[in-house]
Structure 1
Amino acid sequence: MYSSYLDNIYHRAMTSLNFLNTSDYYKLSRQAEKNKTICHDSFYYQNIIKKNNQYYIIDLDSIIIDLHVNDLGKLIRRLMFKGSYEWDFQKAKTLIEAYNEVNKLEKNELEVMLALIVFPHKFWKLGRKRYIKYKNWDENKYIHKLNRLMKYNDMQNKFLEEYLNYIESY
């Protein structure tokens, strides 16, 4: 069953890698290294605590020097698999624009972030667990995980198209 999705997912992965390779990723990476740009590298809502109207970031053990769009891109990608987001580009755009109010993103950073968001990480991880690590799941559990993942396929394609239009008009 996994193999029936390979062509489509492979195309998305290659599209993502093409975006990355034709973007300013390497230039931006060198700049981040030079400027010592810090990323949490695990910046998800679970790692933000609100106490007495103050926000605190926890789990700082994964901090790295990297592009700041790495954190934003990972956050968006993770949220897009949640029921209330479901690859709705307008919701991602809201996050991007809120981020822009604090730290202005350049067009080349949006291009890099697109590559990070649309790469099929979850599909790759599922295949790796099943066929390389030989995770001992029963067939029903595996099929459930695959079906849950693939239900977003068309939504991800639409998200990609809308994101590209957004970049074009940026």
Structure 2
Amino acid sequence: MAYRYSDKKYLIQYDLCIELFKSFDLKVHDVVPIRNVYMVSTNKGEKILKKVEYTIEELNYIYDLLSYIRNRFPRVVNFSKNNNGDICTIWKGNMYCIIDVVDGTECNFNNPVELSIASKALGQLHEASEGFKTDLKSKYTNGNLLNTFKRRIQEMEFFKNIVAIHEKKTEFDEIFVQNADYYIDEIKDSIDMLDKAGYYKLCSEDDKVVICHNDLAYHNILINNGEAYFIDFDYAVIDIKVYDLCNFINKVIKNFAFDIDKAKLIIDNYCITNTLSERELKVLNAMLNFPHDFYTISRDYYTKRKEWDENVFLDRMKKKSGYKEDRKEFLENFNRNICSKK
């Protein structure tokens, strides 16, 4: 599998010392880079070596939530413990963990069978995670969305001010300025929709609050023998079910011309193993209305979050701003054909 330049820069920071693997009682036969981790062939089978960039408290949070989920839904990633019974080893100032490899192929979002399998499994994952609690308050994002959207408007206005003071505007600046007000209005609409849908009331209902994976990309869902397995819970938070569903739908539809049938397939199959109320669908509609892609590429460009070349930013901005009409049609269809059907 190919890996990106940014991954290469990250991977060279790993220390692949034999003593590190010995701390997990592993004998290594081969090591292969995959994205920002290493696949390791050992005397105990295939493993993943991962250098952890967050705190031990956050790592324990991930371990605890996976243990909680596994009681009712076993198809999630698992950690291997080291010789001291810990889930990580501190090695030369860095924290490493070993993760069991999950057999399977990355979910093909273009395949309706695999997308259906993943959607049903997500419903099971959410059901299994109901009731989980943590002391890490930062992982509770439930109820934050209205304030988050209001901050996003302020950020977009700030980006407009940055462009305004540029004497020599880039092509990216020009595209941003042409579209910024349109998408700011969409964020305002999302706020209004959330408020009318009873967002805060929904957030107060315990059976609607779950562990959200929060990064449901195709490579984090593996398909094996007709079942879906979920890996990489680094971004997991505690929020309402439709927060995760929004994340999933957005990742699927943006590469398929905002196909409403894919969103319908996801929701229909999710509801085979879980439930969605009318209020949840209205809140989901408001979440989908938020222009995530346009906001994200603008933020990354003007706050320099990504070390990309200008041409990379420009190409991505052209792509994201170019599907405005497809996205508009999708949102209209979602509101008319999915929300109104419940």
Please tell me the TM-score bracket, short chain as reference.
0.7 to 0.9
Check 1:97–1:51 CA distance in 2 against 1; reply closer, same or farther (3 A cut): closer
Match of 1:79 in 2: 252
- Between Structure 1 and Structure 2, the one with more helix by share is 1
TM-score, length of structure 2 as denominator length: 0.45
Match of 1:157 in 2: 328
- Count of residues paired in the alignment: 167
Check 1:138–1:21 CA distance in 2 against 1; reply closer, same or farther (3 A cut): same
Check 1:21–1:55 CA distance in 2 against 1; reply closer, same or farther (3 A cut): same
**Contact kept? 1:74, 1:116, Cα under 8 Å:** no
Match of 2:233 in 1: 60
Q: Pairwise mapping of residues 6-25 of structure 1 onto structure 2 (< 5 A)?
A: 6-25=180-199
Q: Percent identity?
A: 31
The residue type equivalent to 1:29 in the other structure is C
* More relative contact order, 1 or 2 (CA 8 Å, 6+ apart): 1
Match of 1:42 in 2: 215
**Contact kept? 2:285, 2:334, Cα under 8 Å:** yes
The residue type equivalent to 2:202 in the other structure is L
Unaligned stretches of 5+ residues in structure 1: none
What RMSD, in angstroms, separates the aligned Cα atoms of the two structures?
Answer: 2.1
Check 1:3–1:60 CA distance in 2 against 1; reply closer, same or farther (3 A cut): same
Check 1:88–1:138 CA distance in 2 against 1; reply closer, same or farther (3 A cut): same
Structure 1 residue 54, shift from structure 2 partner: 4.0
Check 1:94–1:35 CA distance in 2 against 1; reply closer, same or farther (3 A cut): closer
The residue type equivalent to 1:79 in the other structure is V
Check 1:101–1:136 CA distance in 2 against 1; reply closer, same or farther (3 A cut): closer
**Contact kept? 1:50, 1:56, Cα under 8 Å:** yes
Which protein is bigger by CA-based radius of gyration? 2
Unaligned stretches of 5+ residues in structure 2: 1-173
Structure 1 residue 37, shift from structure 2 partner: 2.1
Match of 2:165 in 1: none
Counterparts of 1:90 and 1:35 in 2: how far apart (Å)? 25
TM-score, length of structure 1 as denominator length: 0.86
Match of 1:169 in 2: 341
Match of 2:224 in 1: 51
Structure 1 residue 36, shift from structure 2 partner: 5.4
**Contact kept? 1:118, 1:156, Cα under 8 Å:** no
Counterparts of 1:158 and 1:17 in 2: how far apart (Å)? 20
Structure 1 residue 159, shift from structure 2 partner: 0.9
Counterparts of 2:202 and 2:296 in 1: how far apart (Å)? 27
Counterparts of 1:141 and 1:55 in 2: how far apart (Å)? 33
